[in-house]
Amino acid sequence: MVEEARVKTEALQIMGVFHVLPRLVVFDLDYTLWPFYCECRSKREMPSLYKDARGILQAFKEKGVDLAIASRSPAADTAKTFLDKLNITNMFVAKEIFSSWTHKTDHFKKIHSRTGVPYSSMLFFDDEDRNIKEVSKMGVTSILVGNGVNLGALRQGLTEFCENVNTSEKNKQRWIKKFSGNSSSSDKNEKK
Say how many CA atoms lie within 13 Å of 46 toward its Cβ. 1
- Give the Cα separation of 76 and 39 in Å (integer): 9
Instruction: Answer yes or no: are the C-beta atoms of 41 and 35 closer than 8 Å.
Output: no
Q: What is the DSSP letter of 19?
A: S
Instruction: Answer yes or no: are the C-beta atoms of 126 and 103 closer than 8 Å.
Output: no
30, 52, 66, 126: the catalytic one is 30
30 among known catalytic residues: yes
The b-or-e profile of 162-175 (16+ CB within 10 A means b, else e) is bebbeeeeeeeeee
Residues marked active site are found at 28, 30
